[in-house]
Structure 1
Amino acid sequence: MDLRIRGSAPADPFLSAVDLFETEYDLDRPVHVDVREDPDERTWAAHYDDRHVLNISQQAATSAMARELVLHELSHMARNEERHASHVQSTEEAIFLALSGSSVERRKVAHCYQIANHMKDIYADDITLSVAPAEKLVHFLESELARALAAKPGPSPWPDSRLVTADADPEITAVNAAFALALVERHDVVEPSHRLYDLAHAAADDAPTVELDAFKREFRTLAADPTESDYRKSLVEMTRRYAIEGPNHATAAD
């Protein structure tokens, strides 16, 4: 794999992530890593015809989660190259289809994009967890959910927040909890007595309009290799379940 790091960061986490990734997978396009000084910059990947770009903050690149964050983004790149339905379906198109004709609060529309990202993350982490130990990822999920339940506004102490919104909205926190449980159950990496279950049920108690078990089931049972049509249907259904079809649903003008 052709990996080029631009910016100030130790190379070890990147090389370690590549070593793990290449035990089972490879990328055709080179990976350009842009290390940014902004500590609030989220770790994210962009895909072009001739390269992938991994954007990562210096804080993230030097954190205890650095290898796992890089490996996760390499997994997204692999899904992009294989043209997996989750990584070619337009999120905007699916959300428009799901919400067409309905008036939905802006915060909920934003949450729908986060749900769509969770669906992509399921497929990326199917790769991540096939080549790397799950311990750090499970700890990450537990820590982020505990932080959200504490309901303390402000940026996440983790460099890459895949679970927590800035204001720890109870409804999306409950969906995030469902995602976390779905991921660990999909790969059978925790026992039923794990603290993550207690945290998830606490999140559900704070958001009675969100059906934790239903969202968990939807995330956990996503087909490994869906057609684009099937994936779009799943994304539309998940979006409608959250924004429109939940109990006590109320709409508001955009």
Structure 2
Amino acid sequence: MDIRVQGPGPTAPFLSAKDLFQTEHDLSLPVRVRLQDDPDERTWAAHYDDYHVLNISRQAASSAMARELALHEFAHMVRHEQQHPSHTQSTEEVLYLALAGKRVERRKLSHCYQIANHMKDIYADDITLSVGPGEKLLSFLESSLAAAVVDRPETPPRHGLERLSPGTDPEITAVNAAFALALAERHDLVDDEHRLYDLAHVAAMDAPEVDFQEFKRRFRELAREPDTSTYRQVLVDATRSYTSSERLAAD
């Protein structure tokens, strides 16, 4: 793997991640790490014809999660190079197939993109967790879910209004909880007494219209190597399930 860090900032986490990643996987294309000044800049990967880009804030690059964040993005790059269906399927195509002729609230459409991203993350973390320990990832999932549960609003928004943060929306928080628990169970990161179960229970109770158990099953049991048609149908079904209450209201 060829990694080049662009701009002043720490390089050790990326080199450490590279060394660990190469024990099981490799990338054909070089990686450019772009350090961003904005501390709120999310970590994400971009893909081009002859290289990948890992975008990360300097604050995140200096955090205790820096190596794990890099490993996760390297895994997305592998999936991209593999042309894995989770990383090639157009979310817009899925929305068209799943919701044609239906009226769906804009915030729920944005949540459908998040559901698709969760599925991408499942497949990326199948790789991430094959090369590195899952303790930090589990702690990150737990703390993120705890913050979202605490931050939930007391009352639902009025019709037509969107919440300031999708993380405070009980419905997508329940889906996020299903994703976190599914990923942890898929890789045997938790026992029955783990706090993640309590947090997920609270999130599910706050959004009874979301079939929490069904979403957890969908995420946890994603086929390891689906073909394109199978993966598309899984995502279409998840989209229809999440927006089913909206469709009933519209009909």
On the 8 A contact 1:34/1:56 being kept in 2, the answer is: yes
Cα offset for 1:250? 3.1
CA separation in 1, counterparts of 2:209 and 2:133?
35
Residue 250 of structure 1 corresponds to 249
Shift of 1:8: 2.1
Gaps of 5+ in 2: 154-164
2:161 aligned partner: none
CA distance in 2, matches of 1:10, 1:152: 35
Q: 1:93 to 1:247 in 2, by over 3 A?
A: closer
Distance 1:8 1:39 in 2: 15
For residues 143 and 184 of structure 2, the distance between their equivalents in structure 1, rounded to whole angstroms, comes to 14
Query: What is the letter of the counterpart of residue 53 of structure 2?
Result: V
Q: Aligned equivalents of 2:49 and 2:19: distance in 1?
A: 24
Alpha-carbon distance in 2 for matches of 1:69, 1:249: 40
2:57 aligns with 57
**Other-structure match for 1:156:** none
The offset of 1:192, in angstroms, is 1.0
One-letter amino acid of the counterpart of residue 239, structure 2? T
Identity level (%): 65
Distance 1:112 1:248, change over 3 A: closer
Could you tell me which amino acid in structure 2 is paired with residue 215 of structure 1? F
In the alignment, what sits opposite 1:36? Answer: 36
Question: Which whole-Å CA distance do the structure 2 matches of 1:97 and 1:176 have between them?
Answer: 23
Residue identity in the other structure for 1:116: A
Alpha-carbon spacing, 1:103–1:166, altered in 2? closer, same or farther (3 Å): closer
Please tell me whether the aligned partners of residues 89 and 232 of structure 1 are also in contact (alpha carbons under 8 angstroms): yes
In 2, Cα distance between equivalents of 1:201 and 1:18: 37
Cα shift at 1:99: 1.3
Within 2, Cα distance between the matches of 1:242 and 1:57? Answer: 32
2:13–2:67 Cα contact (<8 Å) kept: yes
Question: Partners of 2:228 and 2:167 in 1: how far apart?
Answer: 33
* Aligned residue identity for 1:151: D
Cα drift, residue 109 of structure 1: 0.2
**Residues 100-145 of structure 1, C-alpha deviations (whole Å, 9 max, x = no match):** 1110000000000000000000000000001100100000000000
More helix by share: 2
Contact 1:209 1:248 in 2 (8 A): no
Give matches, 1:135-154, under 5 Å: 135-151=135-151
Secondary structure at the aligned position of 2:168 is classed as coil
Deviation at 1:246, TM superposition (A): 4.4
Amino acid at match of 2:181: L
Give RMSD over aligned pairs.
Answer: 1.6
Give the alignment of 1:221-240 within 5 angstroms. 221-240=221-240
Q: How does 1:76-225 map to 2 (within 5 A)?
A: 76-151=76-151, 165-225=165-225
Q: Measure the CA separation in 2 of the matches of 1:43 and 1:73.
A: 8
Tell me whether 1:69 sits opposite 2:74 in the alignment.
Answer: no
TM-score if structure 1 supplies the norm length? Answer: 0.91
Q: Distance in 1 between matches of 2:68 and 2:86?
A: 21
- What TM-score comes out, normalization by structure 2 length? 0.92
Give the length in aligned residue pairs: 240
